[in-house]
Structure 1
């Protein structure tokens, strides 16, 4: 075990010898926020250790393309060690933090290893919010990890193969229900529609397309509620053109293994329930860090993103309840996570220089969502809403820009280009261990 009575310890076992003592920054989580903190501290006079139970960073916005057989898992993931291969002061520790001892300033890993810190950054992200709905966490499939995406891809392709196998004796109707009309729900619905049409046409499945229903349900009165109404209307029109049934004002009361129940009493048999109804930090390390958690289990922070009453502990991204000067809190979105990560890195450097931390300012650069090929919406702050092909091209370019790793950028660009001219191609593989992968 690695223990220290003082936070300013050498940490030789994890980080190697240091020529001079320097503050140790422990970042818990290798998502968007955590990576930006580490990037901002690379080359600074601090030692950085990133702790994550996965040794790779996952580009969450493209998980739905893995689930719908458009991309391979390796194309949206990148080794964390490789990201910081040239940063001598940044190290990665594979493991899961189960507890934070604030008095001693150490994090405790699952194997009881203790890592001392001078600064702690909570960047643990969020998980799917099931709102206590019976059966939802057991039977619905969210999209917040590579394992989720592989599991959903398995379920979708297996359902189609089973329907083909019994086509002569007991023709099946397949119902796929997506819960949640935000960007994830909209993008997954559109991609699923294109996948099913591709599989039936290209792979010769004996399945009547009219017997396959894709149903997107949401309690809200419109899709993409953070977007302007005209963007929501465009998304609805495009999804309906693609054969997706969109139902507003519907709430789910139970999810069974092969069925879903709605508040109005309807029980519908389903091949899969895809959960895109929101996220929560409840159940993550955030709840261990602070007893009086903020909305959605998030860590309450000051305007400078310091955890309340702990000037050397910080929280970023989805794990943090970041106060918005205009009221409420900033949304749990990748741009907020990235900008908050950069901000915390800068404030840690400022503290090392004896300067007070500055408040976080989020610069809204717009939001976007894709519905299908040549169909996307992009809304700029105080600007126009771009729709159709132009919005789709903007969406492609932005996601390529933020994808981690040149290799992944190149592979995804090549695959998108190839599939643009040969749409049916794609990794339609049923992987046996995907249902149980972590």
Structure 2
């Protein structure tokens, strides 16, 4: 068996880490490249953005995860291209890394549907930096409203618009509403935070379109019970620092959050292969790039068809399953065994939470909603966190929030940025 086989993994997300984990004990050297030094538990990122959790509770240094794996080398760097003829990966700092097997798990970022100029005023939520930006903007909006004497400007500061009503948008809108209506009222004197307006905008006919109509309708009722104004059937046509255009209607809103779409990394461009509309590389049933059997593409970077012809969803369980599959493929090749066959995605259910005491779960035949679904959602997320410390920290933060109604991560930091944000909010 080839002892020196070099596997290069680009991306330390769910798929990349599952792959490296499952290669433990295989006769390979592994180089894991990521442009950030941490693995991020993205399903709970919105709770950092809305002050429920601290950044350290959902992110872990990648080097720390593999400190006891001498065959794993971690590189902090940004990939600029792949040369399949020389089997090399080029980094932005000039370093060139050769590979025997390459796995691209580079994820996705926000998609503004041709309006990238909206990004500065309507940040998306994919990284810790995004989360802390949104958290700072939400908290500063309340602080600036406390200082504002003009009623119209104060109303604009107290209007929060979330664009896109998938799970992330619904979860963001629900917690912002709870914070405004239940957590903050006793802490401000010149404003009533309960007058805050939280607007959730969805271009389609209903929120959470991946769920059944019954669960979607329940989620909408719960959001409206929390005080969220749900707007469906009308696309956003413009985003500015002053507000948002929903169809032909302008809504004055100084805090916008984008949760409406994603765009894959440029992996398909690096490999010069076909991609779908979202930029995801079209791969074969073994998750390899067409014409490049030694290159795998997984996670949000890949477009993979299920047996019924529908695409595998871009969620964490799918990426983990793909990472595990590729690890089996690599082991089979190295040991001269037949390949494990085509990748088959096993859907384990869809979950979304609405505020801190309600959720919806779709396990196929079993569908749940309400408080029981919320508890199951919480247990499932805690289970998939890395390490006992993180599980305990998140469980304690949730318990504290549940019992006291207070959020534990409400610090506004970065003084230089604060000046810029305050200036933006003041118009």
Q: If the length of structure 1 is used for normalisation, what is the TM-score?
A: 0.91
What is the distance in 2 between the residues matched to 1:238 and 1:169? 29
Alignment match, 1:17: none
Q: Distance in 2 between matches of 1:320 and 1:170?
A: 46
Q: Is the 8 A contact 1:179 1:218 kept in 2?
A: yes
Residue 362 (structure 2) pairs with residue 385 (structure 1): no
Alignment of 1:33-52 (within 5 A): 33-52=15-34
Matched, 1:412 2:413: no
CA contact (8 A) 2:282 2:289 kept: yes
Residue 172 (1) aligns with residue 154 (2): yes
Do 2:185 and 2:194's aligned partners in 1 also have CA atoms closer than 8 Å? no
State the Cα deviation string for residues 343-374 of structure 1 (Å, max 9, x = none): 11110111111234321011111010000122
Secondary structure in 2 aligned to 1:311? strand
Tell me which moved more, 339-348 or 327-336.
327-336
State the secondary structure of the residue aligned to 2:293: coil
8 Å Cα contact 1:24-1:47 kept in structure 2: yes
- Pairwise CA RMSD: 1.9
Residue 198 of structure 1 and its aligned partner are, at CA, apart by 4.1
Residue 406 of structure 1, CA deviation: 2.4
CA distance in 1, matches of 2:269, 2:387: 32
Match of 1:220 among 204, 209, 228: 204
Decide whether the 8 Å contact of 1:400 with 1:413 is kept in 2: yes
Question: In the alignment, which residue of structure 2 is the partner of 1:55?
Answer: 37
CA distance in 2, matches of 1:433, 1:66: 19
Match of 2:266, SS? coil
Query: Contact 1:366–1:380 (CA<8 Å) still a contact in 2?
Result: yes
* Structure 1 residue aligned with 2:177: 193
1:397 aligns with: 379
C-alpha spacing 1:70/1:91, structure 2 compared with 1 (3 Å)? same
Structure-2 residue corresponding to 1:258? 242
1:75 is aligned, of 57, 77, 100, to 57
Q: Is the 8 A contact 2:161 2:257 kept in 1?
A: yes
- Alignment match of 2:232 (pick from 233, 248, 263): 248
Q: Secondary structure of the residue that 2:80 maps to in structure 1? A: strand
User: What CA distance in whole angstroms lies between the structure 2 residues aligned with 1:164 and 1:394?
Assistant: 38
Show CA shifts across 1:185-243 (max 9, x none).
11001011112124532422422345311000111111111111111011001000000
Matched, 1:151 2:151: no
Count of matched residue positions in the alignment of Structure 1 and Structure 2: 415
| Counterpart position of 1:428 | 410
SS at match of 2:373: helix
- Is 1:369 the equivalent of 2:376? no
Deviation at 1:385, TM superposition (A): 1.0
Structure 2 unpaired stretches of 5+? 419-427
Paired residues of 2:268 and 2:274 also in contact (CA < 8 A): no
| 1-structure distance, mates of 2:153, 2:281 | 51
- Report the Cα offset of residue 141 of structure 1: 1.2
**SS of equivalent to 2:94:** coil
Which of 315, 318, 327 is the aligned partner of 2:309?
327
Distance in structure 2 (CA, Å) of the matches to 1:35 and 1:23: 18
Which region of structure 1 is more displaced relative to structure 2, 268-277 or 152-161? 268-277
Measured in 2, the distance between the counterparts of 1:109 and 1:319 equals: 18
Query: Partner residue of 1:239?
Result: 223
For 1:372-422, what per-residue CA distance to the aligned partner results, in whole angstroms no more than 9, with x for missing partners? 1220001112x2211111100011011111112322112111111122211
Match of 2:270 in 1: 288
Q: Distance in 2 between matches of 1:181 and 1:199?
A: 23
**CA–CA distance in structure 1, aligned partners of residues 32 and 268 of structure 2:** 16
Q: How does 1:331-346 map to 2 (within 5 A)?
A: 331-346=313-328
Shift of 1:280: 1.4
**Aligned residues of 2:51 and 2:407 also touching (Cα < 8 A):** no
Q: 1:278 to 1:435 in 2, by over 3 A?
A: farther
Bigger drift between 210-219 and 38-47 goes to 210-219
Task: Report the more deviating stretch, 134-143 or 55-64.
Answer: 134-143
| Inter-partner Cα distance in structure 1 for 2:39 and 2:375 | 25
Question: Residues 176 and 168 of structure 1: is their aligned pair in 2 closer, same or farther, counting only changes over 3 Å?
Answer: closer
Q: How far apart are the structure 2 equivalents of 1:170 and 1:259?
A: 12
SS at match of 1:66: helix
Confirm or deny: 8 A CA contact 2:81 2:270 kept in the other structure: yes
